[in-house]
Amino acid sequence: MPEHSYTAESADFQSLLTMGFSEIEAAKLVHMKDHVTEQTEYRELLQESRRLDFIRWLIDHDRISH
């Protein structure tokens, strides 16, 4: 994970430091917080894509009609 200069200016980063986290730990936690939403959205898109693929398979194999 690359270090970002904006991290040191973050209120979250400063708060984590005051709680006793090291700079490296705080930077990793801030990074994770910033990217967890992206990962959740990706997983949801992937699940939706799989559902649609399954529905397409059902239609293609005459298991259901549209």
Amino acid at 51: R
pLDDT at 54: 97
pTM of the model: 0.53
- Write the pLDDT tens digit of every residue in 21-49: 999 999 999 999 888 888 888 999 999 99
Closest of 33, 66, 36 to residue 52, by C-alpha = 66
Instruction: Supply the pLDDT for residue 37.
Output: 83
Rounded CA separation 34/43 (Å): 16
DSSP E strands: which ranges in 1-66?
A: none
How far is C-alpha 6 from the chain's CA centre? Answer: 20
Cβ partners under 8 Å of residue 4, min gap 6: 27, 31
